[in-house]
Chains A and B, each alone.
Chain A
C-alpha cells in the first residue's frame, strides 16, 4: 500500500524532479513546438558585453554578448500556484528543443564554459521559455580603407536560424530597437563606437528558402591621434628637415647630399612601417597619399641640389674657358674653392681660412683681384660689363643662388598648400 502511496505522493507534490515536472520524457526535442503547424515566433534580446578587437588584416571583429531567446513551448508548461518561473540547470537544454540560431559570416565562435556552460534556462508555468547564453563570436566585416586612418567602419553581426525557414520559425527582435543593450563601459582603444542599432530582414537561399535574419549594426570611428603621432608627424618632420638643405651653403656638397639622402631613407622606412600592419589592398589609402607626396617632396629636394650643383659646375667651366680667352688674373670664384676643400670662404678668394696669403703676390695681380672682388660683391651690371664682357657665367651663378632662394619659398609654400587640401578633404 505504501508503494502506491509513494506513487501517489510523487504525483501530488509539485517539487518533483525537473524531468518529471517538465515531462521531458514525452518531449521530443527533435520536433519544434507546434510541429506541422504555424511558425513559432522566437524573440531575441542581446546585451553586448564587449567588443574585444577589430582586426584590419583579417577584416573581422570579435564581440562577446549575452544572447537571449524567448519562445513558448506548450509541452513544457507545468501546474503552479504562484506564477513564478523556475530556473533549471543549463544541462537540461540537451533534452528539450531550442532554436538553432547561428551567426552568419562568423569565423569562430564559442559558448563560454567556465565554470560550467554559461547557459540559463528559465521556464514559466504557462510554457514560456527564456534561454540565455554567453557567446564570443568573431565575424567578418568588410572594411573600406580608402580613407584610412580617417575612416569609419560599419560592421554588423547577423543572427539567423540554421534549419528553420520563415514558415517554421519567425525570428524577431523582442523589444524592437531597444532589444540591443550595451554595457556602460564598452570602449575600444583605437575606435570610438558611434552607435548600435538593430534591423531585420529576410534572406533567401536558392536551395533552402527564405530565412529571417536579424542584424546588430554598429559604426566605429577611428581615433586619428595614434597615427598622427606615429606616421604623419615624423613624415612632416622629415620634409621640413629636407628644407634645411636649401639654407646650407651650396658649396657644402657632402653636407647637402647626405642630408637629402638620409631624409629619403627615413621616409622610405616610415612608409614600410605603415604597411606592415595593414592588409594588402588594391587601392590607395589616405595615409599612402600623404606619405608618398611627402616622399616626392623629399626626393625633389635632392634633385634640386643636384641641379644647383650641376649648374655651378657648368658655370665654372664656362668661366675657366673665359679666363683662357681673356687674360686676367681674376681670383678664382669662391664657389670653386668650396667644392675642392669643403671649407667655407669669404667672397674674397684671397682670404681663405687656414691659408695665409703670402706677400709675394704681385701688386698688379692683387689690384685686379681686388677689382674683381669689388665687382663680384657689388654685382653691378657696369662692372660686369667692364670686367667680364659677354660673360654669362656670373649670371648663372646668380641663378643658382636663385634656385635655392626660390626653393626656400616654393617648397614650404607648396607643402603647406598640400596639407590644407589634404586635411580639408579627409577630415
Chain B
C-alpha cells in the first residue's frame, strides 16, 4: 500500500525524514515490515490504528495501569515489528482515529520523536520540531486543565527523554564544521530551540509540578506507598537523577527532620528494587553502565541514611541483603558516631552524592563548546558546592548524634525529671532544655499549607521540670488500601470481560 514518495509538502514528518548518511536514491531505503515498500508517513497499519484507539480510550478513562502497559510493552513491540528502521506514521495520519484530540496528538508526537531519536538520526529541523512539541506539551501539563492522569513512569520517561534530547542537541551543535549553510541559517533562526535557559525553566517547573513531590508528600502523611509491581513506579534513569539534582534543595532540604531520611530510605528502596528487578532488560541500553554506577551509589547513600535513621520495615529483603553484603560492616561502624564513623560518612557521601556544578561557566556562542561543559551546566557541579554539601551533611550528622542520645533515654522512661536526665546525659539543665527543643524542632516540620506535622515516633512534653514521654503508634490507613484494591479488581474484571468478547 505504501509508495515511493518524495513529498515536498509542509508535513514535517514527511519532508524531513532522512538518514544522516542518506543515500541519494530513496529506493535504497530500508523495507518496512517485510513488504517491498518504503516509508509512507500516511500509511497506518491496522495494529497501529488499534494501538492509538486503545491508548486514547485508556487515557480518557484514566486507566493508568493500561496506559503504562501500552507505553512500556505495546509501543516497543510494534516498533520492533513494524518500525525497526522507520518512523511511526505521522500524527496527521492517526489523528482522525482519536478525534483529532490536541493533547493526544502532542503525546503521540512525543513518542514519535522519541522513537526517531532511538532508532534513527534526527535532522536539525526534526530536533527543532521536537523541542516545539515539548514546549506545547509541557505548557499543557503545567498550565492547562489536564483532564487525564498519566503514569508517573511516562512522565519521567518524557522528562528523561527531554534531557537526553537536550544533550544530543548540544553535541550536535558543537560539531559546527560539517554544517551546511542551510543548517546554520536554521540554527540562527531558531535560537530559542533547546536554549539552556528554556530547558532549565521547563525542568524546574516540571519537577515542582510533578507527582514525585506529591508522592513524597503523600507518603509523609503515611499513605500506602506505591511499589514497582503496581506499575506506579517512578524510578528513572541517570538523566532523571540529574534533573533531581537541579532542585535538590527542594527535595532533600524541605524538612530538616528525621523525616527527610525516612523519605530517602523509602525512595532508595523503591529505586533499588526496581533496578534489581529490571536490570537485565536494561543491559542493551547505552546508559546501562551509568545505571550500574548509580545503583552502587544509591546503596552507599541508603547505608548512610539507615545509619542515621534506623528503619526496619521500609527496606525490601532483596535490597537489604545486597546492602548487608556491600555495606554491612561500614553500617555498624557508622552507628558508633565516633571519629571513625565520621570518616566513613565522609567517604560514602563523597562517593555517592550527586555531583553539583556551578552553572556559570561556558559561553554558548562559541561553536566549539564542549559537550561536557554543557552537561555540567545542567547538573551543577563544582568543588565548592560539593564541599559545602559535605559540610552541611556532616553538620547534620553531628546533630543526629546529639539527638540519638535523647531517644535512647526517652525510650526507657515514661517520665523523668530534667535534673535526672541531665545527670544521665552528663550535661547541665539549660543544655538539656536546648537539646529537647532541638529534638522537637527536628521532628516537626511545616508543610506547604503551613501546618505542623510531627514525624516523631517517640515524643514528649515538658511540665516545668518534668518530662513526660509519649509513644505514638503509626496510623493504619485501611481506607486507601481498600480503595486501590477495589480499583484494581475492577480493572481485572474489565480485562476478563474483554477476553470474553474477543
Q: Do A and B assemble together?
A: no
